[in-house]
């Protein structure tokens, strides 16, 4: 049997023909990186190659690394294997990676979503033979509400809180979700404040994207000034002493997990907005169909259930273990809020 074009090894997804890894989780010589979340772009590789708009993001996150950028749809050849990056729509700078060798095409999605969020280059399905897909929300219970409707709800919630003399805190990951929410906030309601982790990342992205004005909360920020404003903070700030500055406040989380009533209650958060940077059930199924792939490999999320269903639809589907964080949203968030689980 011939070696498959991409293999799942202890270090990550490996292309033997080119001696290259995709989003490896252990240090390697040459790594192709889909996007800037911590479970996909890790420390310690000798060489990073990624989409050029992702370069400043991972440099900000990983510091002094050896990284080169390529444009979307631009091919690079490594030992006769053709690699190219294509929009994944997940977060700013995110890509899928297409791998072609001797007429065979594989696509690795990293993380992706089908809805245009207004800050990431929208997802484009790429024709392939084998499609390696995430399925974080691979259950028919997940159906996203259109973004403008969710953002209307968020803005309305903010306005109501302000009228009640309360500050609105939205917990969102510092890379991706925070900027997505920020982009669509209505600055006519009030001022937008940020936590340091979000302010820094947003400033990196301001080079590429136009955002409403924000102000970092520092020790000199006056408590009275914050009252009635909207504060963007990473989930780890929930329950920290930092938050005392913002009293009186109401909290919200914007995540796909907020679909479940139980999840909202468990997090002791006042309000849950269903807003995800991953595909919902239909998004996954439509994307897979659009690639025309015969083989589908499910990497993280509800992999067993989702691949079983794909088989009933006639796909040659299977699951592979990776270290991308799909099913552990509750446990992992506290450790690293850059780690994208949603």
* Residue 223 within binding range of another protein, rule CB under 8 A: no
Q: Tell me if 268 contacts another protein by CB under 8 A.
A: yes
Nearer to another protein, 160 or 330 (CB): 330
The C-alpha atoms of residue 177 and residue 171 are separated, in whole angstroms, by 9
Binding range to another protein, per CB under 8 A, among 55-63, 90-98, 204-212, 327-335: 327-335
CB of 247 to another protein, least distance (A): 16
Task: Check binding of 262 to another protein (CB under 8 A).
Answer: yes
**Rounded-to-integer distance, Cα 274 and Cα 116, Å:** 16
- Residue 331 touches another protein, criterion: CB under 8 A: yes
Instruction: Using the rule CB under 8 A, give the single segment among 19-27, 59-67, 103-111, 266-274 that binds another protein.
Output: 266-274
Pick the piece of the chain touching another protein (CB under 8 A) from 11-19, 208-216, 221-229, 254-262: 254-262
- Please state the closest distance from residue 264 (CB atom) to another protein, in A: 7
Residue 271 binds to another protein (criterion: CB under 8 A):
yes
Report the DSSP beta bridge partners of residue 296: 131, 317
Q: Is 248 in the site for another protein (CB under 8 A)?
A: no
Among 188, 218, 241, 312, which residue interacts with another protein (rule: CB under 8 A)? 312
238 binds another protein (CB under 8 A): no
**Closer CB to another protein, 122 or 239, in the complex:** 239
User: How far is it, in rounded angstroms, from Cα 296 to Cα 130?
Assistant: 6
Residue among 34 and 259 whose Cβ is closer to another protein: 259
**333/274 Cα distance (integer angstroms):** 17
Residues in the chain: 342
Q: Given the rule CB under 8 A, which of 90-98, 112-120, 202-210, 301-309 is the region that contacts another protein?
A: 301-309
For the residues of 12-50, what is the DSSP string, one character each? SEEETTTTEEES-SS--SEEEES-SSTTTS-S--SEEEE
Give the nearest distance from C-beta 114 to another protein in angstroms.
Answer: 16
Phi, psi of 58, deg, nearest 5: -75, -25
Sole window of 75-83, 112-120, 190-198, 270-278 interacting with another protein (rule: CB under 8 A): 270-278
The Cα-based distances of 38 to 62, 65, 292, 337 in angstroms read: 9, 15, 30, 9
**Pairwise CA distance, residues 81 & 263, whole Å:** 44
State in angstroms the smallest separation of the CB of 52 from another protein.
Answer: 35
- Residue 302 lies near another protein (rule: CB under 8 A): yes
Residue 51 to residues 219, 325, 338, Cα–Cα distance (Å): 37, 22, 19
CA distances from 126 to 85, 105, 292 (A): 10, 10, 9
Q: Which is nearer to another protein, 19 or 330 (CB)?
A: 330
Would you count residue 270 as binding another protein (CB under 8 A)?
Answer: yes
Residue 80: half-sphere exposure toward Cβ, Cα within 13 Å:
7
- Which single residue is written with the structure tokens 């053709």? 82
CA distance 99 to 103: 10
Residue 330 binds another protein (CB under 8 A): yes
State the DSSP code for 72: B
Site for another protein in 91-150 (CB under 8 A): 139-143
Q: Please confirm whether the linkage preceding 43 is cis (ω < 30° from 0).
A: no
C-beta of 266: minimal distance to another protein in Å? 4
**Is residue 304 close enough to count as binding another protein by CB under 8 A?**
yes
Closest distance to another protein from the beta carbon of 259 (Å): 7
Q: How many residues of this chain interact with another protein, rule: CB under 8 A?
A: 30
How many CB atoms sit inside 10 A of residue 283's CB?
21
Binding-site ranges for another protein (CB under 8 A): 139-143, 257, 259-266, 268, 270-272, 302, 304-305, 308-309, 312, 327-328, 330-332, 334
């Amino acid at each position: 049997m011939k070696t498959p074009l991409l293999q799942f090894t202890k270090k990550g997804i490996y292309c033997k023909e080119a001696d290259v890894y995709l989003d490896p989780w252990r240090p390697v010589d040459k790594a192709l990186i889909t996007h800037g979340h911590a479970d996909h772009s890790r420390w310690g590789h000798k060489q990073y190659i990624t989409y050029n708009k992702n370069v400043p993001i991972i440099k900000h996150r990983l510091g002094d690394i050896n990284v080169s950028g390529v444009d979307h749809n631009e091919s690079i050849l490594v030992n006769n294997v053709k690699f190219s990056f294509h929009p994944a729509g997940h977060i700013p700078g995110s890509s899928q990676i297409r791998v072609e060798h001797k007429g065979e095409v594989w696509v690795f999605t990293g993380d992706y979503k089908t809805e245009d969020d207004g800050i990431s280059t929208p997802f484009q399905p790429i024709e392939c033979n084998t499609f390696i897909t995430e399925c974080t929300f691979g259950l028919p219970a997940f159906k996203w509400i259109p973004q403008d409707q969710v953002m209307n709800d968020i803005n309305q919630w903010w306005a109501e809180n302000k009228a009640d003399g309360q500050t609105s805190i939205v917990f969102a990951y510092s890379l991706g979700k925070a900027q997505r929410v920020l982009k669509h906030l209505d600055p006519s309601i009030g001022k937008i404040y940020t936590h340091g982790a979000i302010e820094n990342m947003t400033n990196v992205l301001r080079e590429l994207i136009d955002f409403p004005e924000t102000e970092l909360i520092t020790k000199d920020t006056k408590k009275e000034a914050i009252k009635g404003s909207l504060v963007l903070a990473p989930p780890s700030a929930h329950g920290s002493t930092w938050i005392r500055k913002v009293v009186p406040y109401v909290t919200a989380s914007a995540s796909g997990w907020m679909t479940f009533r139980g999840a909202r209650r468990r997090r002791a958060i006042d309000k849950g907005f269903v807003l995800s940077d991953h595909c919902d059930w239909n998004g996954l199924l439509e994307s897979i169909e659009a690639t025309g792939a015969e083989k589908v490999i499910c990497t993280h999320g509800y992999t067993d259930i989702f691949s079983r269903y794909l088989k009933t639809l006639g796909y040659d589907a299977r699951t592979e273990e990776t270290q991308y964080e799909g099913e552990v949203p509750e446990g992992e968030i506290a450790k690293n809020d850059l780690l994208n689980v949603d």
